[in-house]
Chains A and B, each alone.
Chain A
Amino acid sequence: MFVTVFALIIINKAGGLIYNRTFHEGGLNKISTNDYLVLAGTFHGVHAITARLNPLHPPTNRTSTTSSTAAAAAGAGGAPGTHLTRPDPPSGLEVLETENFRMQCVTTLTGIKFLLFTDTTQANVDLAIRRVYDMYSDYVMKNPFYQLEMPVRCDMFDRKLASYIREINNR
């Protein structure tokens, strides 16, 4: 059997841990609930720092593919006709890879972070994490008993998630 997905962590926009689940024992070290909370908070901070630390995307102009003079003019006085678009906000840390596992992070537009810990050889993590986000928006956000920003306790979400990850892990 090929084990590929180890664990999922969901962090709310304030850096609080709202969901954590291990799908396979042995892939990662076991840590206590308190450590999970610390891990979530720490990651949230690190992520915020990395979002500021990217020299590749200067946040002022991203449209200067044609001429740098136009952009400079736009910067100086807002020349008419210059096509200015709002740049994508820097995404921050997306992938963390070690020799034992790979961690992928997706931040949603509302600031929730999904962290999926997988085997280093796992392919299509983007797709899997996207699917997890879909399930979250279906079975958590459409549930009248869920309170925003609070820990996720939805049977239906647990069940659907488990069956989806089992499908991946048994492939």
Chain B
Amino acid sequence: MAHLGPGKAASSKEQAGLRYPSNGKTIYHRPLNRTKTAELSQSSFAYLFSEMVSYAQRRVTGIQELEKRLNLQGHPIGLKLLDLLLTREPPRSQTRPLTIIALLHFIKINLWTHLFGRQADRLEKSSNPDTPDEYMIVDNEPLVNAYISVPREMSQLNCAAFVAGIIEGVCDGAMFPARVTAHSVGGKEEGEMWPGKTVFLVKFQPEVLEREALIGKG
């Protein structure tokens, strides 16, 4: 409703000014990229992301701070993508996810397909009884890390912290406040199948679990 500026008393007349296409599809329903396969160049993304990492690296004191900055770069994208992807759903299923499982499935399937053209590889719940609030999304080879080799002295770093930020944005936007971090779990040995394997650890706030338990009872 952007046309309803202040001082527009006769807004009912103006209503005709805002026209929707007859098929109900607005610019939000289709990607701006209208090519047949809707593909983008991976190289240009790689260079852009490489610059984003370099930018985040300026004047940071440690790896944790660097990951935090990458996370912050992703967060707004997640918030917006949640709305966008839900808008594009058929009207019947246009509700935001209401349970943790539904939310994680939404991330694993819809979000991943939208961003990377495929689903995430696995979804797991922490088997440790002390941390029932932790869930894991596994990606065997994250697209953002396709060309990145982390130097040995920064081995703790995983640049997929950016994707973790996107996930965090989606969780926050869906009212499931969480902390999401990215961890490399791929082995460094020679014959390793997935050397870049990454786990996104989703740690929900206690109130989310509390609510989840109440819903479960009802």
Contact = CB atoms under 8 A, between A and B. Distances in A.
Q: Do A and B come from one complex?
A: yes
Interface of A: 138-139, 142-145, 153-157, 159
Interface in B58-109: none
A144 B43 contact: no
B151 A144 contact: no
Contacts of B51: 144
Interface residue tally on B, bucketed by range: 10 to 19
Interface of B: 43, 46-47, 49-51, 53-54, 57, 147-152, 154, 159, 188, 195
Contacts of B43: 138, 142
29 contacts: A138-B43, A139-B147, A139-B149, A142-B43, A142-B46, A142-B47, A142-B50, A142-B147, A142-B148, A143-B147, A143-B148, A143-B149, A144-B49, A144-B50, A144-B51, A144-B53, A145-B149, A145-B151, A145-B154, A153-B149, A153-B152, A154-B149, A155-B149, A155-B150, A155-B195, A156-B147, A156-B148, A156-B149, A159-B195
Nearest to B188: A155
Q: Which of A139, A144, A153, A154 has the most CB of B within 10 A?
A: A144
Main secondary structure of the interface of B (DSSP, over half): helix
B150 A145 contact: yes
Nearest to A138: B147
A144 B148 contact: yes
B51 to A, nearest CB: 7
Contacts of A155: 149-150, 188, 195
Contacts of B149: 139, 143, 145, 153-157
A143 B50 contact: yes
Given A142-B50, A153-B151, 20 more contacts: A138-B147, A139-B147, A142-B46, A142-B47, A143-B50, A143-B148, A144-B49, A144-B51, A144-B54, A144-B57, A144-B148, A145-B148, A145-B150, A155-B149, A155-B150, A155-B188, A155-B195, A156-B148, A156-B149, A159-B195
A23 B154 CA distance: 28
Nearest to A153: B151
Nearest to A146: B149
Contacts of A157: 149
Q: Which of A138, A153, A156, A159 has the most CB of B within 10 A?
A: A156
Nearest to B45: A142
